[in-house]
Amino acid sequence: MAGEQHRKGQEKRLDLSPFPIRTDLAREAHDMALGRRQKGEGVPGVHAEEREENGILTSWIRIEDQEGARELGKLPGLYLTLEIPDLRSQDSELQRRVAQHFSDQFQQFLKQAGIPENASVLIVGLGNWNVTADALGPFVVKHTMVTRHLFQLMPEQVEEGYRPVSAISPGVLGTTGMETSEIVLGVVERTKPDVVIAVDALASRALNRVNTTIQVADTGINPGSGVGNKRKALNKETLGIPVIAIGIPTVVDAATIAHDTIDFVLAHLQREMSQQNGKMSNPLDPLNRANVKELQSQEVPTETRSQVLGMVGGLDPNEKRQLIEEVLNPLGQNLIVTPKEVDAFIGDMGKLVADGLSCALHNSVTLDNVSSHVN
């Protein structure tokens, strides 16, 4: 990730980015903000920590105030991100380990977000079950244990270690004719859960995040997020109760592939030319994590930079945008793409999140007995 952080930072310092970079992931936004600063300097208004263990990178980011929000382009709140680069290898041992870790971290997240242990929960599976890449939410709803009806119909028979959980897949605007937020608000008003957990498939900026990253946030679901068009917010303001969002990137805009490629080529050429001009004696692999510190400490004189830019044709943002469009038009009308193994990936990830949720929400449910609780 540090390599990526560098890359994004690099492109920012050189001001090559044609678009304001938008990401649904606080983790990415934080990396970018770090990249815009001196090395070692933190982002004001943001508290972040991370650790890697067993192939799982866990990061907690709290955006504490409006300054942090501005810096990251995200709402103030708590963000938990799990990154598991190997998750697409379909290794069932790893999946189980991640499910357990997700369950533990999610339980901690609920605590930190101030959700009481016996709070009743409504799980909302956002997305369109007819489009596999957008079906993660409905898939999780299908496989998560629900218990609210037991509490309602035979409360005396519900054992210790469970809490009331209900779940709904409200569909999407195009198939229901109704805003998802209208449906969820109606259901919340009638069934009065204490908290909503909304699960959604996200569009990622980077193919390598697809089906390898899980983000949890206490800010809810806000306009513009997600694979489909879910235009109205699901948050404490609109629903009147806390909304915890679980988001997983499942698709990527083909444009970002082209966009990142162009940045790479330009960065490469700039380095090449710096070398030719004798100003940069050490052509660094921008993805080589070992070299990151060295690179960041390099002082590239301003005059060199502008010279380099002049030589590669001085692409201004408009030119760059046009170049990307030229590339993308023949590539196929700005398609949103997903890995061809999408069926298996959504199934694996959905099962992981569903099992993790069942374990996190009910103390009596563990990964060993979860399959006897749900079908």
Helix (H) or strand (E) holding 97: helix 92-112
In one-letter notation, the amino acid at residue 146 is: V
Cα angle 11-62-257, degrees, rounded to a multiple of 5: 30
* Contacting a copy of itself within 292-311 (CB under 8 A): 311
Token pair for 109: 């997240």
Q: Which residues pair with 252 in a beta bridge?
A: 204, 337
127 makes contact with a copy of itself (CB under 8 A): no
Those residues whose C-beta lies under 8 Å from the C-beta of residue 246, and which sit 6 or more positions away, are 140, 197, 198, 199, 200, 214, 215, 216, 353
Shortest Å distance, C-beta 363 to a copy of itself: 18
Inter-CA distances, 48 with 32, 45, 57, 221, 248, Å: 13, 10, 13, 21, 20
335 makes contact with a copy of itself (CB under 8 A): yes
Tell me the residue length of the chain. Answer: 375
How far is C-alpha 185 from the chain's CA centre? 24
- Pairing state between β 56-63 and 165-168: unpaired
179 makes contact with a copy of itself (CB under 8 A): yes
Among 285, 290, 293, 316, binds a copy of itself (CB under 8 A): 285
In one-letter notation, the amino acid at residue 292 is: V
Among 269, 284, 300, 367, binds a copy of itself (CB under 8 A): 269
Shortest Å distance, C-beta 68 to a copy of itself: 26
Residue 107 or 151 having the CB closest to a copy of itself: 151
20 makes contact with a copy of itself (CB under 8 A): no
Q: Is the C-alpha dihedral spanning 110, 115, 121, 124 positive or negative?
A: negative
Residue 52 or 189 having the CB closest to a copy of itself: 189
* Contacting a copy of itself within 206-265 (CB under 8 A): 206-210, 227, 250-252, 254, 257-258, 260-262, 264-265
* Contacting a copy of itself within 76-95 (CB under 8 A): 88, 90-93
Shortest Å distance, C-beta 174 to a copy of itself: 7
Q: How far apart are CA 181 and CA 39, in angstroms?
A: 42
194 makes contact with a copy of itself (CB under 8 A): no
Q: Which stretch binds a copy of itself (CB under 8 A): 26-34, 233-241, 325-333, 356-364?
A: 325-333
Among 26, 84, 136, 188, binds a copy of itself (CB under 8 A): 188
